[in-house]
Amino acid sequence: MAKSESKATREAALKYFDAVASRDLDAIAACWAADGIDRLVGMQDLIGPAGVRAYFEDLLNAIPDFELEVITANADGASCTVRWRATGTFAGPGSFQGFEPTGASLEIEGCDVLTIEDGLVANNHAYLDGASIARQIGALPQSGSSAELRMTALANRRTRIGKWLAASPPEPVADGVWVIRGGFPSKTMNVYLIEDQGGITVFDAGIASMAKPIAAAGARMGGIKRVVLGHGHADHRGAAPALNVPIYCHRAERVDAEADGGEHYFKIDLLNPVGRMLMPKLLEHWDGGPCEIAGTVDEGDEVAGFKVIHLPGHAPGLIGLWRESDRLALVSDCFYTLNPETGAKGHARVPHSAFNQDTELARASILKLAALEPAAAWAGHADPLTGDVRSQLEHAAATT
Pairwise CA distance, residues 319 & 249, whole Å: 8
163-398, superfamily in CATH? Ribonuclease Z/Hydroxyacylglutathione hydrolase-like (3.60.15.10)
**Residue 165: what pLDDT?**
66
**Residue 2: what pLDDT?**
63
Helix (H) / strand (E) element for 170: namely none
Do the Cβ atoms of 153 and 69 come closer than 8 Å?
no
Pairwise CA distance, residues 373 & 151, whole Å: 54
Q: Which residues pair with 69 in a beta bridge?
A: 85
DSSP letters, 226-242, are EEE-S--SHHHHTTGGG
Fold match between 2-140 and 163-398? Answer: no
**Residue 341: what pLDDT?**
87
Pairwise CA distance, residues 58 & 95, whole Å: 8
0.85 exceeded by pTM:
no
**Residue 145: what pLDDT?**
86
Q: What is the largest CA-CA distance in the chain?
A: 84
Do the Cβ atoms of 22 and 30 come closer than 8 Å?
no
**Residue 60: what pLDDT?**
96
Non-local (6+) Cβ contacts of 242 within 8 A are 208, 211, 215, 288
Residue 322's CB is within 10 A of a number of other CB atoms, namely 19
Domain boundaries, the chain: 2-140, 163-398
- Rg of the chain, C-alpha, whole Å: 29
pLDDT lower than 70: segments of the chain: 1-2, 161, 163-165
Query: What is the domain class of 2-140 according to CATH?
Result: alpha beta
DSSP helix/strand/coil, 176: coil
